[in-house]
């Protein structure tokens, strides 16, 4: 009897030991699995949008968005320059000034091929020579018809962007289209009348053509510089 009870006790202890070992193993496995899942969650947090960029120290949105911003700024500048150039081209079409001073002079012209007049003028003027606006003093002596036309003139800028020049020439000798700092354009149409009070008007057909073509971004006179002084006087 005692032997039987002793055997039963040993068997019970053995069974209990196996169960405890299995339970411990199961707990360890479960804990490892949980840790793995936890680590997976950490990985998930590391790969959320912008996470890797932040880890690398790169600001979010610094790539394509910044490029789009730069394109937008450049585009706005191009549009602004386009309208500025068209405005200057439009101003270049007309020379207009009013003045006063001693003298009597008349000149009427439909290009330099069809012009006549003469006289003496000394005046203080305010007005515009195309995009160049200002206040200046001008003295001139001229006489002739068509290309047999003599003129001696002196322009002195007081303020503004009107160019100061001196010239003494016969139009027969200066009939080239690109006139540099010529006083009047070769193809210009207009008149100058001075009898105490001076009125001077000159319309430039070549500048009108430059304005129209400029609407299609064709700059035939190469004057889309944004400057308030024309680089060619046609």
Q: What is the pLDDT of residues 135-194, one digit of tens each?
A: 999 999 999 999 899 988 899 999 998 888 887 877 766 544 444 456 788 889 999 999
For residue 113, the SS3 value is: coil
Average pLDDT, the chain: 77
CA distance 233 to 215: 20
Which residue blocks in 93-126 are alpha helix, DSSP H? none
Confidence of residue 59 (pLDDT cuts 50, 70, 90): low
Which run of H or E residues covers position 82?
helix 64-92
Q: Where are the domains of the chain?
A: 2-55, 89-214
Please check the confidence at residue 61 and state whether its pLDDT lies above 60.
no
Taking only Cα atoms into account, the Rg of the chain, rounded to an integer number of angstroms, comes to: 45
Task: Compute CA 128 distance to the chain's CA centroid, rounded to the nearest angstrom.
Answer: 25
Neighbours of 229 (CB within 10 A): 13
- Reference 96, options 126, 121, 119; nearest CA is 126
| pLDDT for the residue numbered 167 | 79
pTM: 0.66
- Lowest-confidence segment of 12-16, 72-76, 114-118, 198-202 by average pLDDT: 12-16
Which residue blocks in 47-63 are alpha helix, DSSP H? 51-55
CA distance 184 to 41: 83
Per-residue pLDDT tens for 71-82?
Answer: 677 888 899 999
| pLDDT for the residue numbered 177 | 42
For residue 20, the SS3 value is: helix
CA distance 137 to 156: 5
């Amino acid at each position: 009897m005692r032997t039987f009870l002793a055997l039963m006790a040993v068997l019970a202890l053995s069974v209990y030991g196996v169960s405890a070992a299995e339970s411990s193993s199961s707990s360890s496995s479960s804990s490892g699995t949980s840790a793995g899942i936890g680590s997976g969650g950490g990985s998930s947090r590391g790969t959320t949008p912008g996470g890797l960029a932040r880890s690398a120290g790169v600001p979010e949105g610094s790539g394509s968005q910044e490029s789009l911003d730069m394109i937008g700024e450049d585009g706005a500048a191009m549009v602004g320059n386009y309208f500025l150039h068209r405005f200057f081209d439009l101003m270049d079409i007309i020379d207009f000034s009013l003045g006063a001073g001693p003298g009597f002079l008349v000149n009427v012209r439909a290009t330099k091929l069809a012009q006549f007049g003469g006289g003496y003028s000394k005046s203080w003027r305010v007005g515009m020579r195309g995009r160049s606006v200002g206040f200046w003093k001008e003295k001139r002596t001229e006489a002739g018809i068509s290309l047999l036309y003599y003129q001696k003139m002196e322009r002195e800028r007081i303020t503004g962007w009107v160019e100061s020049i001196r010239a003494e020439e016969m139009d027969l000798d200066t009939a080239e289209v690109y006139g540099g700092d010529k006083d009047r354009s070769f193809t210009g149409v207009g008149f100058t009348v001075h009898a105490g009070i001076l009125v001077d008007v000159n319309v430039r057909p070549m500048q009108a053509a430059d304005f129209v073509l400029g609407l299609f971004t064709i700059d035939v006179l190469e004057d889309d510089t944004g400057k308030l002084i024309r680089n060619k006087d046609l």
